[in-house]
Amino acid sequence: MDLTGLLKSQFLCHLVFCYVFTASGLIVNALQLCTLPLWPINKQLFRKINCRLSYCISSQLVMLLEWWSGTECTLYTDPQDYPRYGKENAIVVLNHKFEIDFLCGWTLAERFGVLSSSKVLAKKELAYLPIIGWMWYFLEMVFCKRKWEEDRKTVLNSLLNLRDYPEKFFFLIHCEGTRFTEVKHQISMQVAKTKGLPGLKHHLLPRTKGFAVTVRSLRNVVSAVYDCTLNFRDHENPTLLGILNGKKYHADFYVRRIPLEDVPEDEEQCAAWLHKLYQEKDAFQEEYYQKGVFPETPMVPPRRPWTLLNWLFWASLLLYPFFRFLINMVSSGSSLTLASLVLVFFVASVGMRWMIGVTEIDKGSAYGHGDSKPRP
């Protein structure tokens, strides 16, 4: 390991990132709270301000991927479609296999300039997560409980509220509902067999109802579906801890632009269309494992400097008082003070590990349990 790699793996560096992210995130959350009176007066101004504030948080995680770890991203797509990306609203259908696939989706949005306004369909529990969850609340993310009878009305209302959104956005959706594991895959394929659906090798059976209501609610607002299949070179399975340690990966995206008018509006036809899409995604993934590349022309969307500049701004604002505080505590010589300092470091370590654990595959939601009826 070289000197740079050794430095990146040190806990002190991780603590700095954790501190800057936590402190800046709570400041941003407080500022977002102050924007609430704007909502009844000027909803569009409220939205524009919260897009910029939310970028201060989400871009820090993208900065870790792009600038700290140096992870490279190659896009395989039709060159005729490439100029449209970031210039139109789109539903982005992502596979859900890797611990950092959400971060790669954010990177895709960032490179086309729509990270600040992009949306996700997320589980309701995340709304209560400090910083990220609170940020999403003000950004009007669509939350669901994964119980469709309860979700139908709330998800529909949330989606309809986005029809007059003033910023271009990607609506990122993992139709599989949970991350791929072998156990979940076996259960999913059992469901596919009972429904008479073709088996999938690299994906779980997609859950169609959320996708169908998204398409129906955002029709004439969203221009296309971007079918996005992600994989990593050399059969790597990246983790957020690896990113934090500065490990470099190479992500390959295969993106197909499908005009929204090609997606059926009828719920049953839309479900059949989505199942066919996932069969195609499975074939593309199999081809990648065999050849090491996706179809279409490889392109590398350039990194934008704003994620790095945003982090440097918050670091310059917050690190001086932080280190001043540490120096004063150490120089005090008090046993109680030093013990308190050790406790703070311990709590920070546990908190950081907990935040990383939220992204781990084995901490994901169960598949095929907790529902009295199988989901189509």
Give the contacts of 209 (CB within 8 A, at least 6 positions apart). 148, 152, 267, 271, 375, 376
Q: What percent of the chain has pLDDT over 70?
A: 88
What is the Cα–Cα distance from 360 to 195, expressed in whole angstroms?
A: 30
Residues of the chain under the 50 pLDDT cut: 359-364, 369-376
* Other C-beta atoms lying within 10 Å of the C-beta of residue 110: 27
Output the pLDDT for position 87. Answer: 96
Hey, which bits of 295-355 come out as E strands? 297-299
Region of residue 29 (phi > 0: left; psi between -120 and 50: alpha; otherwise: beta): alpha
Report residue 170: phi and psi, to 5°. -100, 135
Question: What does the pLDDT read at residue 264?
Answer: 95
Model pLDDT, residue 304? 95
Residue 322 confidence (pLDDT): 78
What does the pLDDT read at residue 124? 83
- The type of residue at 332 is S
| 287-341 confidence digits (pLDDT tens) | 999 999 999 899 999 999 999 999 999 999 999 887 887 777 777 767 776 676 6
Task: With beta carbons less than 8 A apart as the criterion, state whether 200 and 182 touch.
Answer: no
CA-CA distance, 277 to 369, in Å (whole number)?
25
Q: Is 258 left (phi over 0), alpha (psi -120 to 50) or beta?
A: beta
Residue-wise pLDDT tens digits, 213-238: 999 999 999 999 999 999 999 889 99
What are the phi and psi torsion angles at 229 (to 5°)? -115, 125
pTM of the prediction? 0.88
Give me the pLDDT at residue 370, please: 42
Could you tell me where the beta strands, DSSP code E, fall in 178-296? 224-232, 250-259
Both tokens assigned to 139: 């950004």
**Residues forming beta bridges with residue 170, ordered by sequence position:** 90
